Amino acid sequence: MIEFLVELVCQVVLEIIWEALRACGVFSPRGSGKAINAWWAVAGYIALGIVIGLVSLWPLPDHLIQVKRVRILNLVITPIAVGMVTCGLDAVRSKTRQGGPRFDRFACGYMFALSLSLIRLWLAK
């Protein structure tokens, strides 16, 4: 019974977050022609990174990298790599003209990965 209640509460909370992000313009329906505010998109991906970082602490509460210097290096390198990958995905997507969520800018990918990494750095055991 408790598992059902937890799942129900999580579903409702995630739906509220999703709708709030859509209302702020982070996501727009495909083909709507509505421009998405880049600042809201970046803020949405920071929030998404924080949420995923917090959720990742539940199954993996310990640091994945044990050496502190390597964790700091990871904090610098990983967001840059994720930002570069999102730019590459945008290039591929623009060639094939596929729609999708706004994860196409370096800043969005960078801030998502940085916020996720910072949450894990600060809160993991």
pLDDT tens by residue, 44-54: 889 888 988 89
Range of the domain at 99: 2-123
pLDDT tens by residue, 76-112: 999 998 888 888 877 777 777 655 554 557 888 899 8
Q: What is the mean pLDDT of residues 46-66?
A: 87
**Separation CA 107–CA 41 (nearest Å):** 9
- Reading the block at residue 89, the tokens are 């995905």
Contact (Cβ atoms closer than 8 angstroms) between residue 13 and residue 5: no
Q: How many domains does the chain have?
A: 1
E strands within the chain?
A: none
